Amino acid sequence: MTLPLLEARALSKQFASPKGGVQALADVTLSVDAGEFVAVQGPSGSGKTTLLLAAGALLKPDTGRLTLDGVEPYALNPDGRARLRAEKIGFVFQEYHLVPYLTALENVLVASLPKPAADARPAALELIEGLGLKDRAEHVPAALSTGERQRVALARALLNSPRILLADEPTGNLDRENMVIVLGRLAEFAAGDGAVLLVTHDDGVAGRAERTVHLRAGRLVDP
């Protein structure tokens, strides 16, 4: 039997606040298979980003178990988790997180640090060209449109050939043309035996996924 590429079992996470504990995740169980594009939909504050950070080995849940490509990231030490993220996970965020003084090409190559492979630059250029940014490779982020910045961020996420892409509202700042480009590339990645877990509050974006699950107050619920 083929194991899920990403499997979360009974994940719970609580944050402290002046008014008491806030339950960001409550007994969340979710699996994502290779080749699958899954959307997590819910309103602001429902726990979507917390779930994505936990799935990305960036935020340890209080209880529950997570496996990524057969590995339990929270059983590893910090260096082990960092290697796992670099090798297995590509992150795409709404705010891009590009380095302002680096060119588009250099921002993509950041994903290959600290030891760039010999073919990192050709691979980065191929990704940039495939996302329609060939003429923007030497531009810094301030000279790019919001859609172009998001496509640079997507190329960076894809550079190391990850097993799964985790996307947090990746089209939230985009016009329709760039939204179609980004969502199409995510779907293409999943179809190539990767997996995509995307969080969004947008019905239209969620509609591009093969499966949608819904979070309310940290719990998976029927829509």
33-85 pLDDT tens trace: 999 999 999 988 899 999 999 999 999 999 999 999 999 999 999 999 999 99
- As a whole number, the mean pLDDT across the chain is 92
What are the C-alpha distances in Å from 187 to residues 39, 148, 198?
A: 11, 19, 11
pLDDT score of 223 more than 70: no
- For residue 195, the surrounding DSSP H or E stretch is strand 195-200
Neighbours of 43 (CB within 10 A): 11
Whether the per-residue pLDDT at 222 is higher than 80: the answer is no
Entry pTM:
0.91
pLDDT bucket at 19, cuts 50 / 70 / 90: confident
CA–CA dist 149, 198 (Å, integer): 18
Over residues 103-124, mean pLDDT: 86
Identify whether the C-beta of residue 160 lies closer than 8 Å to the C-beta of residue 128: no
**Residue 1 pLDDT exceeds 80:** no
Q: Which fold has domain 6-100+150-221?
A: Rossmann fold (3.40.50)
DSSP assigned state of 205: H
pLDDT at 96 over 90: no
Asked if 140 contacts 103 with a C-beta cutoff of 8 angstroms, the reply is: yes
Q: Write out pLDDT tens, residues 160-176.
A: 999 999 999 888 888 88
Q: Do the beta carbons of residue 206 and residue 33 sit within 8 Å?
A: no
- 141-165 pLDDT per residue, tens: 999 999 999 999 999 999 999 999 9
Closest CA to 173 of 146, 206, 133: 146
User: Residues 177-188: pLDDT tens digits?
Assistant: 888 999 999 999
Q: Where are the alpha helices (DSSP H) in the chain?
A: 48-55, 78-88, 104-109, 120-130, 146-158, 176-191, 203-206
DSSP code string of 51-113 = HHHHHTTSS--SEEEEEETTB-GGGS-HHHHHHHHHHHEEEEETT----TTS-HHHHHHGGGT
